[in-house]
Structure formats: structure tokens, C-alpha cells
């Protein structure tokens, strides 16, 4: 069976591709940088350099690769307006063009779409609103689909680890928006990969939206304390009102592209990033799709930080 994937070289994408290859799928990837794909997977993945807004080039990819399934992962956490990488463009317009071409192609058995926990029509952040718009576009397309909404994903490539390591290497001070009480329910990247690959062929996953969470809810403060404890790094965690962080984000966006943090990221904290808040979606996605309990928070964080350490010291 043939799977076409976007975002294959990203944090989550590389784990999904590895899982697909282990399961015997033939994988093709729409990429901007073919050399990056080849560095990760050699010749195991068929590369297609295409613009996700160019429907003509996308149509050529579909006709050449002839996929049975499509996995769409592309997304951003912070806008980079110098490169025209906005939430509206990357989350919604890319998805819209891709799904229109996929519909015209007419031979897909299933589309798997990466969304995010917290996505909701009433969400105040543009990040979550454009994620919701993309979900709705897929639902209207008539394509067979499954949507995934993970909480914070743990893995060695998690950008938060790199940011924390760099910021606190010399400045042992870190700002906690709203005091750090905001809750996550972190999920291991290996569980996310499992859920995506299993959902491809499970009939009961068709037309459903799954929340992907781990076994434990932790506050942002607790998560940072656990990370710094592992690194044996003493860092002062300074509570800062979210309103002040929001203003700081607006200033940072004017001075730096991409900014170290954004005003929209403060708006993302409109409610806790945990499973079970939206009754209309499927809870316990890892359990239902993978048929087992999620990897524990403690094991996931230990593995993630251990492998992260190897990467930065390589």
C-alpha cells in the first residue's frame, strides 16, 4: 500500500515515516528540501518537490505516485512573516489546496490530518482557529478522513528542549506565563506515530477525531522543573502575568522574525491542553488506536531528554 505524506522531515513526521516503513508501506513525501529527506531516509522514501499551494504540481505528484493514503502533517507554531509563513497560509490554505487535489484524484482510501489539542471554533488564537478551519475543510471535502489532536508531544526533537537549553545555558532565569499553572497532558512521539499508522486501516477510525494524550497531566511549571532537574540545572522560574507576556510577544514580533515567543502563543493558553474537554471527539486515542496504554510521562521524558542530550553533544 502506498502512503503520501507531507512534513516527513519534521519532528513527528520522521517517526511516522519510520513506522510506515517498518509496517511495509511504500512511502512518498512532498518536501521542500529533498536532501534533508535523503539524509534521514536514504532512498527508502520517494521524494517529490512541490509547492503545497500549487495545485498543478500537487496533481502531478498524485498522478505519478498514485497513493492509497494521504497523511498531512505540515504546521507551524510561530509565524515568520518575512517568509510569508502565516497560520492562515500554512494551516488552512495549504490544506485546502491539498484536499481539493486529493478529492479530484479520487482514489484515496483515507486521509489522516494532524491538528492540535485546543483546536475549537471559539479558540482565541489564530493558531487554533486556522487548525479548526483546516479540519472543517477536510470534513466538507467528501474524503474519508481521521483527524488527530495531540497535546504537547515529547521526543528528542521537541523544540521546547532546544529553547530551554539555549536560554538557560547562560541566563538561569525563565518566565512562567500566568505562574506556570497551565496544564499539559504530554504524549510520546512514538505513540503519536503508532496512532497515525494504525488509523490508516482501522475501519472504526473513519470520520473520527481523536485526542492523543499521555497518562499524566502536568503543569508547565512541573514540566520545566522536571526538565531542569534532569539537566541538574538550577533555574529561577519567574511568574509573569499572561497579559504582560502577550504585550511582550507583540513587541518581539515587531523586532524579530521569527520571534522567540509570540502573542498568539499566549492566546493558545485559553484553556488547559488536556484531553476530555470536548465531548464531541474521541478520548483516549492512543489506547483506542494502538490497543495499549500510552508510554508513561516519566519514561517518555527520560527517553526524550536522554536522546536530546546525545544529539546536542554529537
CATH code of 14's domain: 3.40.50.720
Mean pLDDT, rounded, for 200-229: 97
Question: Which residue from 266, 164, 171 is spatially nearest to 224, judged by alpha carbons?
Answer: 164
Q: Where are the alpha helices (DSSP H) in 42-178?
A: 55-65, 87, 94-105, 126-140, 159-168
Predicted TM-score (pTM) of this structure: 0.96
What range defines the domain where residue 59 resides?
A: 2-313
β-strands 218-219, 183-184 pairing: antiparallel
Residue pLDDT, tens place only, 244-273: 888 887 887 777 766 767 888 888 888 999
> What does the pLDDT read at residue 250?
82
Q: Is the peptide bond before 235 cis (omega within 30 degrees of 0)?
A: no
CA distance 100 to 268: 29
User: String of b and e for 44-81 (b: at least 16 CB within 10 Å)?
Assistant: ebbbbebebeebebbbebbeebebbbbbbbbbeebbee
How many other CB atoms sit within 10 Å of the CB of residue 293? 12
Instruction: Report the range of poorest mean pLDDT among 76-90, 246-260, 296-310.
Output: 246-260
The confidence score (pLDDT) of residue 260 equals 67
Which region holds residue 142: left if phi is over 0, alpha if psi is between -120 and 50, else beta? left
Mean model confidence pLDDT for the chain:
95
In the DSSP assignment, the letter for residue 1 is -
For 5-14, write each residue's pLDDT tens digit: 999 999 999 9
Give me the number of domains the chain comprises: 1
Q: What mean pLDDT do residues 15-36 have?
A: 96
Amino acid at each position: 500500500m502506498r502512503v503520501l505524506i507531507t512534513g516527513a522531515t519534521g519532528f513527528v513526521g520522521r517517526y511516522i515515516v519510520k513506522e510506515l516503513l517498518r509496517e511495509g508501506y511504500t512511502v512518498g513525501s512532498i518536501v521542500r528540501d529533498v536532501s534533508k529527506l535523503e539524509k534521514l531516509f536514504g532512498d527508502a522514501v520517494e521524494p517529490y518537490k512541490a509547492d503545497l499551494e500549487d495545485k498543478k504540481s500537487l496533481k502531478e505528484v498524485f498522478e505519478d505516485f498514485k497513493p492509497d493514503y494521504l497523511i498531512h502533517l505540515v504546521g507551524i507554531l510561530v509565524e515568520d512573516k518575512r517568509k510569508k509563513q502565516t497560520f492562515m497560509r500554512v494551516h488552512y490554505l495549504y490544506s485546502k489546496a491539498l484536499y481539493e487535489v486529493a478529492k479530484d484524484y479520487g482514489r484515496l482510501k483515507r486521509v489522516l490530518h494532524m491538528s492540535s489539542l485546543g483546536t475549537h471554533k471559539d479558540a482565541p488564537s489564530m493558531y487554533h482557529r486556522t487548525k479548526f478551519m483546516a479540519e472543517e475543510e477536510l470534513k466538507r471535502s467528501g474524503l474519508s478522513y481521521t483527524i488527530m489532536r495531540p497535546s504537547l508531544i515529547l521526543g528528542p526533537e521537541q523544540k521546547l528542549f532546544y529553547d530551554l537549553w539555549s536560554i538557560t545555558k547562560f541566563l538561569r532565569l525563565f518566565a512562567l506565563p500566568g505562574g506556570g499553572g497551565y496544564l499539559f497532558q504530554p504524549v510520546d512521539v512514538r505513540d503519536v506515530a503508532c496512532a497515525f499508522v494504525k488509523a490508516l486501516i482501522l475501519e472504526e477510525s473513519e470520520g473520527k477525531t481523536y485526542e492523543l494524550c499521555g497518562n499524566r497531566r502536568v503543569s508547565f511549571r512541573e514540566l520545566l522543573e522536571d526538565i531542569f532537574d534532569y539537566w541538574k540545572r538550577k533555574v529561577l522560574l519567574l511568574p509573569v502575568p499572561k497579559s504582560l507576556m502577550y504585550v511582550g510577544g507583540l513587541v518581539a514580533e515587531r523586532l524579530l522574525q521569527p520571534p522567540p515567543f509570540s502573542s498568539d502563543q499566549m492566546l493558545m493558553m485559553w484553556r488547559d491542553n488536556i484531553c476530555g474537554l470536548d465531548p464531541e471527539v474521541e478520548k483516549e486515542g492512543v489506547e483506542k488506536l494502538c490497543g495499549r496504554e500510552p508510554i508513561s510521562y516519566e519514561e517518555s521524558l527520560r527517553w526524550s531528554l536522554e536522546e536530546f542530550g546525545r544529539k546536542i553533544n554529537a
